[in-house]
Amino acid sequence: MIRKTILSLGFLLCLSVHAKVKNVLLIVSDDLKADALGCYGNEVAQTPNVDQLAKEGTLFQNAYCQGTVCRPSRASFMRGRYHGGKEITWGEHFQKHGYSSTRVGKIFHMRVPGDIIAGTDGDDVPACWSAKYNMPGKEAHTPGNYACLNLNKFTTEAKGRQSTKMPYRMFVTVDYVGNGSDQPDWKAATKSVELLKSFKKDDKPFFLATGLVRPHYPNVAPEQYFARYPFKQMKLPFVPEGDWDDMPKAGISSSNSKKYGIDKFPDNQKRMWAGYLATVTFMDEQVGRILKTLEELGLDKDTVVFFTSDHGYLLGEHHFWQKGNLREEVTRVPLIMKAPGQKPGKSSSIVELVDLFPTACALTGLPIPESVQGKSLLPILENPKATVKNSALSFVGKGTSMRSPDWSYMKYGDGSEELYDMKKDPKQFKNLAKASAFEQELQTQRKLFAKRNKAL
């Protein structure tokens, strides 16, 4: 209690610049890797709206998720805890302090495509919301040019498409003739725009959480988005010969090129990149529609905006695909915050998604629930060079990673380890855990790792 009181007093001292923060807008993309955005250095991706938000707010270059698949990640950041359970959520807390709390689309876990096709709630927490809206769509069943790229199957037929709970659904793309208004993310943006207009009239403080499902598979978008990314121009990630040789067995993803057969089709790996980026651009346009309305209504003057994703994604790096492991491409996520009165900036400080909830509390002047384990990032919003923590933890069933400014350390349940020098080896090609020259550093990381996990 004393710790929380001291922290709250510290937050209040920082609130002068952000005194006008009244409302909270949380936008969550799904399966979005940080380096698929222009503002994170991607020179191919067309993401002007998220890039503009990054120019106007604070871009966190080293933000990390805690859960490395949808369900645990969302349970975590919606409660500000490393492993979310039954603790108080953002929405419950904000409602207790006079806010409306509204969900549009996927915030807690929903099966994509299953719950999207059915229009069902998934793992939603009803108490979190004063109102909620699901955004259905046809997903892989959208009429158009269907491809299952690991099977090298291309068709316009409706029958035989990989969909809910089917083994190859993650390699599906669909491009079609249309404007996108039939897609879940278009619908989510449209509903968010409608709600913002109603919030403006009500003048009651609001927490609006908009969950977009792209670029989560299946990669479905109108053909004009695919046209921006000719697959032959896509460059596949470099993977050195024998890349898995120094990885422990627990660190080798079961979702790999050889297992699924996509190693036989290099062009289809490029098509995977094209489909992913096409849906990233489609998602970006929906973000732009929401932010444009926020500005047109003047709500940007008293609303803090958070943009992030539940985790990153692999598209052939290390010959791995999807998520659910401890690679940097999975654990590192995009995170941008824009608050009224805030100066733009970039921060290289290590932060975690558990920090979002307490940051929203600090900015709006609300108390931080005792159950929250994250830390407010308000000091970094005030000064991008500030630091609030020295490491980030991410979890899979087999193990845990600890990311610090210079090192990535992974420990698995069977005792095996990985250690990477992230300054010299940011792509994690050389595991130093068994290198005698790095024995001292390994011992240091082990001690820090044990200390961090003990504190949870």
Share of the chain above pLDDT 70, in %: 96
Q: What angle do CA 275, 277, 280 make, to 5 degrees?
A: 115
Question: What 3-state DSSP class applies to 99?
Answer: coil
pLDDT of residue 313: 98
The per-residue pLDDT for 4 is: 47
User: Tens digit of pLDDT for each residue in 7-43?
Assistant: 444 444 444 444 579 999 999 999 999 999 999 999 9
pLDDT in tens, 231-277: 999 999 999 999 999 999 999 999 999 999 999 999 999 999 999 99
Q: Are 330 and 428 in contact (CB under 8 A)?
A: no
| Tens digit of each residue's pLDDT (9 = 90 or more) over 131-176 | 999 999 999 999 999 999 999 999 999 999 999 999 999 999 999 9
Q: What percent of the chain has pLDDT over 90?
A: 94
pLDDT classification of 203: cutoffs 50, 70, 90: confident
What average pLDDT does the segment 122-126 reach? Answer: 98
What is 288-302 written as a DSSP string? HHHHHHHHHTTGGGS
Residue 108 placed within a domain? yes
437: in domain: no
Report pLDDT for 8: 46
Which among 448, 388, 397 is positioned nearest to 419, based on CA atoms? Answer: 448
3-class DSSP state of 110: coil
Residue 164 maps to a domain: no
| Tally: H helices and E strands in the chain | 13, 19
**Alpha helices, H only, 90-149:** 90-96, 114-118
Confidence class for position 455, pLDDT limits 50, 70, 90: confident
Would you say the C-alpha torsion 395, 400, 405, 407 has a positive or negative sign?
Answer: negative
- Asked whether residue 283 is assigned to any structural domain, the reply reads yes
Helices 48-56 and 266-296, packing angle to 10 deg = 50
Q: What is the pLDDT of residue 64?
A: 98
With respect to residue 432, please indicate whether it lies within any of the assigned structural domains. Answer: no
Domain harbouring 307, CATH code: 3.40.720.10
pLDDT tens for each residue of 309-351: 999 999 999 999 999 999 999 999 999 999 999 999 999 999 9
Residue 228 lies in a domain: yes
**Structural domain of residue 17, as residue ranges?**
2-136+186-390
The confidence band for 224, taking pLDDT boundaries of 50, 70 and 90, is: very high
CA distances from 289 to 27, 176, 194, 196 (A): 12, 22, 11, 11
Query: Rounded mean pLDDT of the chain?
Result: 95
Tally the domains of the chain: 1
Residue 427 has pLDDT above 70, yes or no: yes
Residue 20, pLDDT score: 78
Predicted TM-score of the model (pTM):
0.95
Half-sphere exposure of 18 toward its Cβ, with a 13 Å CA cutoff? 32
Quick check: is 415 in a domain? no
445 belongs to a structural domain: no
What count of residues does the chain have?
456
Q: Residue 102 has which token pair?
A: 């509204």
* Both structure tokens of 447: 């001690």
